[in-house]
Amino acid sequence: MEKIIVEGGNKLNGEVNISLAKNSVLPIIVASILSPNDIIINNAPILEDVVVLSDLLTGMDCEIKNDSNGNLKINTSNIKESNMNSELIRKMRASFLIMGPMLSRFGKCKISMPGGCNIGSRPIDLHLKGFKLLGAEIEIGHGFVEAKAKKLKGNRIYLDFPSVGATENLLMASVLAEGTTIIENAAEEPEIWDLANFLNSMGAKVTGAGVGKITIEGVDSLKGISYTPIYDRVEAGTFMVAAAITNSKITINGANEEQLRPTIEKLKECGVKFENIKENVMLVDGTGTKNSVDIKTLPYPGFPTDMQAQMMTLLAVTKGSSIITETVFENRFMHVAELVRMGANIKIDGRTAIIEGVESLTGCEVKATDLRAGAAMILAGLVAQGKTEISDLYHIDRGYVDIEEKFRGLGANIYRVDK
Ligand code: UD1
C-alpha cells in the first residue's frame, strides 16, 4: 500500500507552480462531446479524475491523446452512447456531467446513478429538474437515470441552490437547444465562468456566467478549439495555508488573486500577508503570529468548502478558539477524527466544529478521508512533531498533481513509499 510520509518541522521557501483547475478541466472534457471537431486542452493536469474521465470517453470510442507538451487532444466524432462504462461513472461523481452534452447530442442518455460519497449524499434532483424544464422526459429505475428529448428547448430554470454541477450540466445541455435558456440562482464559481468561456470560444452564446443569472441563446453547432483553463484555486489555496502553518514565505505561480479572494481574505484575518507580484503570481508571507478566526463555508463568492479541511488544520495549531460551520456538504468533517489523533482539540456539533488551538501536533498514522482532507493531513504533517504516515492516497491523487514533488521543491521532508 502506498503512503505519503511527512517528517515535520521544515520551513518552506522558494516557488511552486500551480496546475490548471481540476474542476474546470473535468466539465471541459465532457463539453467536448458537444462538437465533432478536435478540442485541445492546453496543459491539462493529468490527475486520477482526468484519467477516469478519459478512460470513460475512450471506452465510448472517442479519441483522447496526451501529447508531449502536456496538451490533451480530444475528438468525440465517433462517440457511442451505448458503450458507457457504468463502473467508471460510479467511480467519480463528476462523470454525471456527461448527461447534459449527451442528451443534447443524441436526444437521449442512460446513465448509472452516481453513488453517494463520503462527504454527503450529493443528490442530482437539481440537474434533473433542469433537464425536465428543457423538455426531457426522465425515468429512474434499476440504478439508472434515463433522459430523452427529441430536441431540447430553452426555458427559464431556477435552481433552489446554486449547485456547481447542476449549473454546468444545464449550461452544457442548453448551448445547442432551441431558443433561449435562463439559469437563475446559478453557481458563480470561477470554474462556471471558465466553462462558459470555453463554450463561447467554440461558438456558443452564453452571457452572465459567474454572476448568478446565465443566459444561453441556443446555436446550431460548435467548432473545435484549443483552450487553456484557469489555475486551480484550491491547489493554490492549499499552498497558501502551507506557508501559514509552517511560518514561511513562498511564491505561488498560478494564483489568481480575484478567484482566490474568499481564501485570501480569511487568511489575512488570520495574520497572513500577501503581495501580488504580477498577474497570477503571489508572494505569501505566513511568518508571524496567527489569530483564530471563524469560518462559514458557502457557495462562491463565500468561503469554499474545498478549503475547509486545510483551514481547520491551520486553526488547530493557532492559539485561541475558532468555529467552522460547513453549510455546503452535510458530512465534511471526516478529517476531524484524524486531526484529533494527531493531538488537535476539535469538537463537532452538527455542522459546526469548535477548534481550540493547541501548541503542537504529533505525527502518527492517518488516513486521507477525502481529497481535500488528504491535503489537510499533509499540512498537519508539515508541522507535526516526528513522522506522519498518510494512507488512502487515491483520494489525494484524484485532485493534486505531483503533490509531494511540489512540497519537496519548497523544502518539505515528504516522500511516497510503497509498503
Ligand atoms: C463541485 C466541485 C466540488 C466542490 C463543490 C462545491 C467539481 C468537479 N466538484 O461539486 O469540488 O466541493 O462543487 O463547491 O466541480 N445538491 C443538491 N441537488 C443537486 C445537486 C447538488 O441538493 O442536484 C447539493 C449537494 O448535495 C451539496 C450542494 O448541493 O450539498 C453542493 O453541491 P454542488 O455544488 O452540486 O457540488 P458538485 O458539483 O458535486
Question: 389 with 374: CB under 8 angstroms?
Answer: no
Cα 409 to averaged position of ligand 1 atoms, centre (Å): 33
Residues 270 and 412 in one domain: yes
When divided into structural domains, the chain yields a total of 2
In the set 62, 109, 117, 270, the catalytic residue is 117
In this structure, what CATH number is given to the domain that contains residue 91? 3.65.10.10
Cell, residue 161: 441552490
Q: What is the mean pLDDT of each run of 10 residues along the chain (419 residues)?
A: 96 98 97 97 94 94 90 95 85 91 93 70 88 96 92 97 97 97 98 98 97 96 97 98 98 98 98 96 97 98 98 98 96 95 97 97 96 97 98 94 97 95
Please name the helix (run of DSSP H) or strand (run of DSSP E) that holds residue 25, with its range, or none: helix 22-31
**Is 131 in the same domain as 243?**
no
- Please name which of 295, 250, 252, 309 lies closest in space to residue 118, comparing C-alpha atoms: 309
Do 36 and 176 lie in a common domain? yes
For residue 213, the cross-strand partners are 184
**pLDDT at site 117:** 58
Helices (H), 151-304: 164-174, 190-201, 233-245, 261-270
| The C-alpha cell that represents 418 in the structure block | 510503497
Given 178, 193, 227, the domain boundary residue is 227
Answer yes or no: is 105 a known binding residue.
Answer: no
- Boundary (domain end) residue, out of 195, 227, 259: 227
pLDDT (0 to 100) of residue 68: 81
Both 182 and 324 in one domain: the answer is no
Check residue 120 and give its pLDDT: 61
Q: Which residues line ligand 1 (CB under 6 A)?
A: 23, 26, 93-94, 120, 122-127, 161, 163-166, 187, 305-306, 328-329
Residue 171 known to bind ligand = no
Residues 6+ apart with CB under 8 A from 162: 185, 186, 187, 188, 212, 299
Q: Do 214 and 259 reside in the same domain of the chain?
A: no
Domain residues for 33? 22-227
223 close to 31: Cβ distance less than 8 angstroms: no
Q: Are 216 and 203 in contact (CB under 8 A)?
A: no
The predicted pLDDT at position 239 comes to 98
Cα→Cα distances 211→22, 215, 299, Å: 21, 11, 12
Q: For residues 375 and 335, give the distance between their C-alpha atoms in angstroms, rounded to a whole number.
A: 10
Instruction: Tally DSSP H helices, then E strands, for the chain.
Output: 14, 23
Residue 164 annotated as binding site: no
Half-sphere exposure of 182 (CA within 13 A, CB side): 4
Indicate whether 31 and 7 sit together in one domain.
no
Separation of alpha carbons 100 and 91, rounded Å = 19
Report pLDDT for 116.
Answer: 53
Q: Which amino acid is at 11?
A: K
Question: Domain end: 197, 227, 257, which one?
Answer: 227
Same domain for 46 and 163?
yes
Instruction: Give dist(CA 102, CA 99) in Å, integer.
Output: 5
* For helices 371-383 and 308-316, angle between their N-to-C axes, nearest 10 degrees: 20
Q: Which residue has the cell 481547520?
A: 312
Task: Give yes or no: 117 in active site.
Answer: yes
Verify that 8 and 31 share a domain, yes or no: no
Residue 119 has what pLDDT? Answer: 62
Instruction: Report pLDDT for 249.
Output: 98
Whether residues 315 and 399 fall in one domain: yes
Same domain as 397, residue 255: yes
Index of the ligand 1 atom closest to the CA of residue 127: 23
Output the DSSP codes for 146-173.
EEE-SS-B--EEE-SS--HHHHHHHHHH
Residues 280, 347: one domain? yes
Is residue 322 within 8 Å of residue 344, measured between CB atoms? Answer: no
Beta-carbon contacts of 18 under 8 Å, excluding residues fewer than 6 positions away, are 231, 232, 235, 236, 239, 252, 253, 254, 255
Q: Which atom of ligand 1 is nearest to the CA of 128?
A: 23
Query: Are residues 309 and 403 part of one domain?
Result: yes
Sheet of 387-391, strands arranged across: 365-367, 387-391, 2-7, 413-418
